[in-house]
Amino acid sequence: MAREERKNIKNIAIIAHVDHGKTTLVDEMLHQSGIFRDNEVVQERVMDSNDLEKERGITILSKNTSIHYKDTKINIVDTPGHADFGGEVERILTMVDGVLLVVDAFEGCMPQTRFVLKKALGLHKTPLVVVNKIDRDGARPAEVIDEVLDLFIELGADDDQIDFPVIYASAREGYSSTDPTVREGDMRPLLDAILKYIPSPVGDPDGPAQILFSSLEYDDYVGRIGVGRVERGTIKVNTPYVLCRQDGTQENVKFTKMYQFEGLKRVACDSAEFGDLVSIAGIADLNIGETACDPEHIEPLPFVKIDEPTISMNFIVNDSPFAGREGKYVTSRNLRDRLFKEVETNVSMRVEETDSMDTFKVSGRGELHLSILIETMRRENYEFQVSRPQVITKTDANGKVLEPMETAIVEVPEEYVGAVMTKLCSRKGEMINMDTRPTGMTHMEIKIPSRGLIGYRSEFLTDTNGNGIMNQLFAGYEEWHGDIETRSRGSIVVHETGTTTGYGLWNTQDRGRLFVGPGVDVYEGMIVGECAKDEDIVCNVCKKKHVTNTRASGSDEALKLVPPTTLSLEQSMEFLADDELLEVTPKSIRLRKTILSKELRLKAENRAKKG
């Protein structure tokens, strides 16, 4: 088998902690390589094409693009930085030969830097380090390079990987250099470094065809599209191949359409050689991790193992009194079809059917992973309910229950350290490391059960007055740590169906924190606030003032209402107790008790106590 190096192509993935500027860096490389016309209007962060990505400023799905530089085609994959979307990062790395590790010149190595780099080094990818944002106030490029080197050593990098090249850049200002003091220029030094240090694909150009599918896209016109890398030989349109499925079965297939990436567009082509990244249409039920081979040489390729989900929620058909008012897709069939469609492209998510026809168990990598799915479905006009997030436990060979653990990496000003430590330690957290950063922030690493962090983020922001930064990383499974008291307050529950009134809310606001204002339609069993005590209370927020003929001076002055707290989707998910549900519709997010009637709730509680 003659193995050759294909010098006119480079395949790289851009990996980084969230918000270190990798999407902006890709933008600038696209602009300077002449992808866009001079008069073309281009939005910022053009790679974040999904609405939620634009709003939150995060990358959720990996994206493919390419540029041409000095007779070389550089295929670039922009990957997510959040650990919740780690499944995307892992499989994308199978398609590339090298990685651009982007690190913020001020923040240095952050939790997800460690996470994505560990994956890349484990797959023996060649790294090129880009220290970005060197124009930022307080930038400390020399110290950051030392931190990166320490991280490489800690993660067990080999000698070649430790001897990594470094480029200093400001993606926003559009320049790069090998010298950290330079503040002008363009992206050519970075592009030259990619050509010099990132290896070209090596393979057999004349061998039997073989392609591994690492990603899936969906197109309304051509259906499911597999994105993969040609590992060997040449693949062609309308030629018979054998698809090796993950369950060991085989199927004869043909590719009806094939595309290569040119800039941000997919361009149709008839054939592709080894090392090319291509999109292929024509296989109706293609799955990630499957290999298409020459019929004479059926050799499936191994696929990277994706980390298992750690958190699950039940997605339930909406059965509240307001069901069907706002959503278009409300039935169990609608919900089932949408959830099973999601797992076709979202590899680190699982969907299981339950004993109830109306309930589906959805498991993901974290609260953010699941909340993105909920928000996406809302925008697609789905209406449903979700239960409180629960951690997924395992049982070892000795019958002991194991639970997922997280490393919470926290940076807070010194005055808030005590409050944060007290809260996390009460949730079974254990301090691993603590030091003071040059920025004056205290850096803490705390090992804590995953369930101890459910519902903590909003408390953390309150405890630190919004000055704290918290990231979390999956840290494996450990023996069950016992009961954790998470929510210390009860709910304010609606007494009867109706519309909230200023008078009813005014009478209720002393009992705790309200989530709704006047003039809102509510139903019995709906939650409209957080009680100040550790108990649920039922209040009549629809109460109207009795009309009498008597008027006393001053008694009819305007009632002063405290403005309600509006909870976001994530905050609502965190607020939920075990006996509560979150009703999600295209227009509303409502908290409610699972059992709406007060009498039936009390009976259920008594039965639970006796049982």
Rg of the chain taking only CA atoms, in angstroms? 27
The answer to whether the annotation marks 549 as part of a ligand binding site is no
Q: Is the pLDDT of residue 40 over 50?
A: no
Q: Give the pLDDT band of residue 486 (cuts 50, 70, 90).
A: low
Give the per-residue pLDDT at 136: 75
Give the integer Cα–Cα distance in Å for 297 and 231: 13
pLDDT, position 220: 64
553 residue type, one letter: S
pLDDT in tens, 406-444: 888 888 888 888 888 888 888 888 888 888 876 677 888
**Res. 48 pLDDT band, cuts 50 70 90:** very low
Q: Tell me how far apart the alpha carbons of residues 99 and 113 are, in angstroms, rounded to a whole number.
A: 12
Residue 301 DSSP one-character state = P
pLDDT at 438: 66
Q: Is 132 annotated as a binding residue?
A: yes
| CATH of range 4-202; options 3.40.50.300, 3.30.379.10, 3.40.50.620, 3.30.310.50 | 3.40.50.300
Question: Which pLDDT score is estimated for 393?
Answer: 86
Sequence-ordered strand ranges (E) for 269-400: 271-273, 277-281, 291-293, 311-317, 350-353, 359-364, 384-387, 390-391, 394-395
State mean pLDDT over 593-602.
Answer: 85
pLDDT at residue number 54: 41
Residue 556 has pLDDT above 50, yes or no: no
Write the DSSP assignment of 418-450 as a string of letters. HHHHHHHHHTT-EEEEEEE-TTSEEEEEEEEEH
Contact 595, 328 (CB under 8 A): no
- What does the pLDDT average to over 450-456? 79
- pLDDT attached to residue 551: 53
Q: What are the structural domain ranges in the chain? A: 4-202, 205-293, 395-479, 489-548+559-566
pLDDT of residue 38: 38
Residue 523: is its pLDDT beyond 70? yes
- Is residue 408 within 8 A of residue 453, CB to CB? The reply is yes
**Residue 553 banded pLDDT, cuts 50, 70, 90:** very low
Out of 13-22, 354-363, 475-484, least confident range: 13-22
CA distances from 77 to 62, 99, 260, 411 (A): 7, 9, 13, 30
Range 489-548+559-566: architecture per CATH: Beta Barrel (2.40)
Question: Whose CA is closest to 57, among 83, 87, 29, 81?
Answer: 81
Quote the pLDDT of residue 41. 36
Copy the structure tokens of residue 47.
Answer: 């790679």
Q: Compare 321 and 88 and report the one with higher pLDDT.
A: 321
341-371: pLDDT as tens digits: 887 767 678 888 888 888 899 988 777 778 8
pLDDT of amino acid 198:
84
As a whole number, mean pLDDT of residues 2-10 equals: 74
| Mean pLDDT of all residues in 97-119 | 77
pTM: 0.68
Say which amino acid occupies 563: P
| pLDDT tens string 295-329 | 787 777 777 666 678 888 899 898 888 888 888 88
Asked if residue 24 belongs to a known ligand binding site, the reply is yes
pLDDT at 112: 67
Does the annotation place 20 within a ligand binding site? yes
Quick one: pLDDT band at residue 97, thresholds 50, 70, 90? confident
Whether residue 19 is annotated as binding a ligand: the answer is yes
Show the tokens assigned to 306: 């994706």
Whether the pLDDT of residue 494 is over 80: the answer is yes
What pLDDT, on a 0 to 100 scale, did the predictor assign at position 143? 82
List the beta strands (DSSP E) in 465-577. 469-479, 491-494, 498-499, 512-514, 521-522, 526-531, 537-539
Tell me how far apart the alpha carbons of residues 292 and 274 are, in angstroms, rounded to a whole number. 13
Checking if the pLDDT of 19 tops 80, the result is: no
pLDDT value for 80: 62
Please report, in angstroms and rounded to a whole number, the separation of the first and last CA atoms in the chain: 70
**pLDDT tier for residue 61 given thresholds of 50, 70 and 90:** very low
CATH number of 205-293: 2.40.30.10
- CA-nearest of 43, 27, 181 to 102 is 27
Torsion, Cα 520 521 527 531, to 10 degrees, reads: 40
pLDDT of residue 52: 44
Residues 231-289: tens digit of each pLDDT: 888 888 888 888 887 777 777 888 888 888 777 677 888 888 888 888 888 777 777 77
Do 4-202 and 395-479 share a fold?
Answer: no
CATH of domain 395-479: 3.30.70.240
23 belongs to an annotated ligand binding site = yes
Cβ atoms 587, 326 nearer than 8 A: yes
Q: What does the pLDDT look like over 135-162, one tens digit per residue? A: 777 777 788 888 888 888 887 777 777 8
Average pLDDT over residues 389-409: 84
Helices (runs of H) and strands (runs of E) counted in the chain: 15, 37
Q: Give how far Cα 149 sits from Cα of 116, 152, 164, 207, Å.
A: 15, 5, 9, 40
63 assigned ligand-binding residue: no
